[in-house]
Structure 1
Amino acid sequence: MRGWQKIGGVLLLMLLLAGLTGCGGSNPQGNGAGAGTQANSSNTSTGKPRYSVALEATFAPFEFRDMKTGEFTGFDIDLIKAIGQVEGFDVDIKEMGFDGIITALQTNNVDLAISGISIDDERKKAVDFSLPYYQSGLVVAVKADNNTIKGFDDLKGKKIAVQINTTSAKEAKKIPGAMVTELDKVPDMFLELKNGGVDAVVNDLPVTAYYIKQGNNDVKIVGDIRSAEYYGIAVPKGKTEILQKINDGLKALKANGQYEELYKKWFGQEPPAFLPGEPPQQKS
């Protein structure tokens, strides 16, 4: 009797172990940073390729969260989804800090990034860029009652807030004697300005203009636009298939009028003639 009890116990133990192996032995895909980042992964409901898209969602009107729904919205969101529609792929949004986006692309943790990323020579060494889809520039913002700072030339020796690892930060650091504070998110910069922690904010024109338009009349833009720059959609080096789809999609949206519709929706004006789908003309 004891022998059968022992054998029965061993059999029971083996069955339990087999059950546990069946439940937890595999490594299913989850919602972590690496999930859904392979270019050949597909959406099981549509059968389309599914690309993970990195962005930093405090850069209105390009990307931000709708206060009512909590969903991502903005010009960049609409644009990448429209590209996906014409090129036959789905997108999986991955929110992260702006300073981590290039690294995420380099390590193939995401398939592409659209987050108001300026195309510059330093970034082109790390990632590949699409054709430009937006022309921007940098401006100075101060408190509405500040009448001493009237532009970039008045920022010498001043305290300036910028977003970390941006072209705004690079430009501000060129200013003699400037004390530059780099912050993670756009709202943090303007909060620092309002609280008196800095004298000015250097930021992209459309983002600053949109911020003021939302009822923040205690802030104003002063001076001229500096450092005209172009935004591009970034992909990891060598991902030529994805890059080709992005460029073809931009051209298709320009041809069918969707790009113009989206531009008017978010910026209330006609887009520049060259955008998107063709490189800007160099001034002679």
Structure 2
Amino acid sequence: ALAALSARARAADEAVAAAREARATARSQAEHQEAARRDVERLCGERFQCPPPVLPGRFGFAPDPGDPEALAVVHDDLAAERERLGPVNLRADIELAELEEQAKTVAAEKAELDTAIARLRGSIGSLNREGRARLTAAFTAVDAHFRALFTDLFGGGEARLELIESDDPLEAGLEIMAQPPGKKLQSLTLLSGGEQALTAAALIFALFLANPAPICVLDEVDAPLDDANVERFCDLLDRMAAETATRFLIVTHNAVTMSRMHRLFGVTMGEPGVSQLVSVDLHAAERLLAAE
């Protein structure tokens, strides 16, 4: 009986020792859990500014953690997603700020370019409007002079200038329509060589009447003309010289034209290889002849 009691006493002591050890282990685990809880509360407060019970709702989870196995599945899925995303770029915030700054700079430059383009288009539109107005006014003036000069040169008939191929004067072409006496109205290209020369001369003189220039050089314009038309051409030259301040320089081999000029300049070769410029003032020569 004594042995049995001793055995029971030893068993009781062992149970007490085991209970004490278990209590110490439980107390240690409780302390660790409490420390972990405090760490979680601190992290939630620092990073998310909320207590742990509110945190699941912040990310779309139910406040009740639910089935641990289901949570484990969700945890595994999230961990796998994190692995697919790859390593975390610790410079992401800095790079984002740099890219946003670059985007702002590009947006500002684009706005400046848009403003400059709008201003340039406005200037182009203004210049085009002014150009159309000036061209239309010049065309009207030249056309009026051309009509009158053509009739004077040909002793009748009619002619006009036409803008073709576009309603915009800045893009339109120019067509010369002429009707010498006894002929139908037709394009300049369908006239004879002499008629074309007189019509072109009328247009040149019309340009000088609308916008005079100091000098006008005409090279062999009388070559295709007969004597009667040369006289008409010279009559018009005299009129232009009287009505404008333009000096007319005529290159010609026509004797009739030369006889109607005020001064002649020629090149002669008195000796082989030696050229000499000769000039004659016809008005002075006429006065000398009259004095004799």
With the length of structure 2 as denominator, give the TM-score of the two structures. 0.25
Which has the higher relative contact order, 1 or 2, with Cα contacts under 8 A spaced 6 or more apart?
A: 1
Higher radius of gyration, 1 or 2: 2
Tell me which protein shows more helix as a share of its residues. 2
Tell me which protein shows more strand as a share of its residues. 1
With the length of structure 1 as denominator, give the TM-score of the two structures. 0.26
